[in-house]
Amino acid sequence: MIVLTIAAVVVVGVVVASSDKVAYQRLPGGPDEIARAYADAVETRDPVKLTDVDCAPSAEYPASKSVAGFAEHGTTVRIGARCQNEATRVSFDVEIRRTDAAPDPSILWVTQEEGGSWCVGLGGTGLPA
Protein backbone atom coordinates (compact mmCIF):
# COMPACT_ATOMS: atom_id res chain seq x y z
CA MET A 1 0.00 0.00 0.00
CA ILE A 2 2.83 2.39 0.87
CA VAL A 3 4.54 1.63 -2.45
CA LEU A 4 1.34 2.44 -4.38
CA THR A 5 0.90 5.71 -2.47
CA ILE A 6 4.48 6.76 -3.19
CA ALA A 7 4.08 5.81 -6.86
CA ALA A 8 0.87 7.86 -7.11
CA VAL A 9 2.57 10.91 -5.56
CA VAL A 10 5.50 10.60 -7.97
CA VAL A 11 3.18 10.33 -11.01
CA VAL A 12 1.09 13.33 -9.90
CA GLY A 13 4.28 15.31 -9.22
CA VAL A 14 5.65 14.57 -12.69
CA VAL A 15 2.36 15.53 -14.38
CA VAL A 16 2.13 18.80 -12.43
CA ALA A 17 5.81 19.63 -12.99
CA SER A 18 5.54 19.17 -16.75
CA SER A 19 2.28 21.06 -17.15
CA ASP A 20 2.34 24.27 -19.19
CA LYS A 21 -0.86 25.53 -17.54
CA VAL A 22 -0.60 28.70 -15.50
CA ALA A 23 -3.17 30.17 -13.14
CA TYR A 24 -4.65 33.42 -14.39
CA GLN A 25 -7.71 35.57 -13.95
CA ARG A 26 -8.94 37.46 -17.00
CA LEU A 27 -9.30 41.19 -16.48
CA PRO A 28 -12.63 42.84 -17.26
CA GLY A 29 -13.02 45.27 -20.11
CA GLY A 30 -12.97 45.50 -23.85
CA PRO A 31 -9.99 45.53 -26.20
CA ASP A 32 -8.98 49.13 -25.39
CA GLU A 33 -8.87 48.44 -21.64
CA ILE A 34 -6.94 45.20 -22.12
CA ALA A 35 -4.38 46.87 -24.41
CA ARG A 36 -3.87 49.57 -21.74
CA ALA A 37 -3.64 46.90 -19.01
CA TYR A 38 -0.91 45.20 -21.04
CA ALA A 39 1.08 48.44 -21.38
CA ASP A 40 0.62 49.08 -17.64
CA ALA A 41 1.88 45.55 -16.82
CA VAL A 42 5.01 46.19 -18.87
CA GLU A 43 5.53 49.63 -17.29
CA THR A 44 5.01 48.45 -13.70
CA ARG A 45 6.83 45.12 -14.25
CA ASP A 46 3.79 43.24 -12.96
CA PRO A 47 3.99 39.50 -13.81
CA VAL A 48 0.52 38.75 -12.41
CA LYS A 49 -1.19 41.38 -14.58
CA LEU A 50 0.91 40.31 -17.57
CA THR A 51 -0.23 36.70 -17.09
CA ASP A 52 -3.85 37.83 -16.72
CA VAL A 53 -3.88 39.57 -20.12
CA ASP A 54 -1.81 36.96 -22.02
CA CYS A 55 -3.91 34.76 -24.33
CA ALA A 56 -1.65 31.74 -23.77
CA PRO A 57 0.36 32.08 -20.55
CA SER A 58 2.72 29.16 -19.98
CA ALA A 59 5.10 27.79 -17.38
CA GLU A 60 7.79 27.46 -20.07
CA TYR A 61 7.91 31.24 -20.57
CA PRO A 62 6.67 32.66 -17.25
CA ALA A 63 5.66 36.30 -17.04
CA SER A 64 8.21 36.78 -14.24
CA LYS A 65 10.95 36.04 -16.80
CA SER A 66 9.41 38.57 -19.19
CA VAL A 67 9.23 41.36 -16.61
CA ALA A 68 12.83 40.69 -15.57
CA GLY A 69 13.76 41.26 -19.22
CA PHE A 70 11.63 44.42 -19.32
CA ALA A 71 13.51 45.76 -16.28
CA GLU A 72 16.91 44.80 -17.69
CA HIS A 73 16.28 46.55 -21.00
CA GLY A 74 14.13 49.43 -19.75
CA THR A 75 11.26 48.24 -21.94
CA THR A 76 8.16 50.37 -22.34
CA VAL A 77 5.19 49.91 -24.64
CA ARG A 78 3.18 52.80 -26.03
CA ILE A 79 -0.25 51.89 -27.37
CA GLY A 80 -1.20 53.78 -30.52
CA ALA A 81 -4.27 53.83 -32.72
CA ARG A 82 -6.53 50.93 -33.55
CA CYS A 83 -5.54 49.48 -36.92
CA GLN A 84 -8.09 46.81 -37.60
CA ASN A 85 -11.44 45.99 -36.06
CA GLU A 86 -13.01 42.57 -36.46
CA ALA A 87 -15.78 40.98 -34.43
CA THR A 88 -13.38 39.04 -32.20
CA ARG A 89 -10.00 40.66 -32.93
CA VAL A 90 -8.70 44.20 -32.73
CA SER A 91 -5.19 45.33 -33.53
CA PHE A 92 -3.33 48.34 -32.21
CA ASP A 93 -0.18 50.05 -33.40
CA VAL A 94 2.38 49.86 -30.63
CA GLU A 95 5.83 51.26 -30.17
CA ILE A 96 8.23 49.21 -28.09
CA ARG A 97 11.09 51.17 -26.59
CA ARG A 98 14.21 49.82 -24.91
CA THR A 99 17.14 51.73 -23.52
CA ASP A 100 19.55 49.63 -25.61
CA ALA A 101 17.76 49.75 -28.99
CA ALA A 102 15.90 52.00 -31.41
CA PRO A 103 12.09 52.18 -31.04
CA ASP A 104 10.43 49.17 -32.62
CA PRO A 105 7.00 49.60 -34.22
CA SER A 106 4.81 46.54 -33.84
CA ILE A 107 1.20 45.39 -33.76
CA LEU A 108 -0.63 44.19 -30.66
CA TRP A 109 -3.55 41.83 -31.29
CA VAL A 110 -6.33 41.76 -28.72
CA THR A 111 -8.58 38.73 -29.16
CA GLN A 112 -11.97 37.85 -27.71
CA GLU A 113 -12.09 34.38 -26.18
CA GLU A 114 -15.10 32.04 -26.22
CA GLY A 115 -16.15 33.18 -22.75
CA GLY A 116 -16.30 36.79 -23.95
CA SER A 117 -13.16 38.09 -22.20
CA TRP A 118 -10.34 39.75 -24.15
CA CYS A 119 -6.63 38.90 -24.11
CA VAL A 120 -3.42 39.87 -25.91
CA GLY A 121 -1.27 37.69 -28.13
CA LEU A 122 2.21 37.62 -26.63
CA GLY A 123 5.37 35.75 -27.51
CA GLY A 124 7.78 34.12 -25.08
CA THR A 125 9.45 37.45 -24.30
CA GLY A 126 6.16 39.01 -23.21
CA LEU A 127 6.16 41.26 -26.27
CA PRO A 128 3.55 41.13 -29.05
CA ALA A 129 3.80 37.89 -31.04
Domain range list for the chain: 28-120
pTM over 0.85: no
SS3 71: helix
Query: For 65-111, what is each residue's pLDDT tens digit?
Result: 999 999 999 999 999 999 988 999 999 999 999 998 899 999 999 99
DSSP codes joined into one string, the chain: -HHHHHHHHHHHHHHHHT-------PPPS-HHHHHHHHHHHHHHT-HHHHHHHBSS--SSS-HHHHHHHHHHHT-EEEEEEEEEE-SSEEEEEEEEEETTEEEEEEEEEEEE-TTS-EEE-B-TTSSB-
Query: For 37-59, what is each residue's pLDDT tens digit?
Result: 999 999 999 999 999 999 999 89
Question: CATH classification of 28-120 is 3.20.20.70, yes or no?
Answer: no
Judge contact between 103 and 97, C-beta under 8 A.
yes
**Percent of the chain with pLDDT strictly greater than 90:** 74
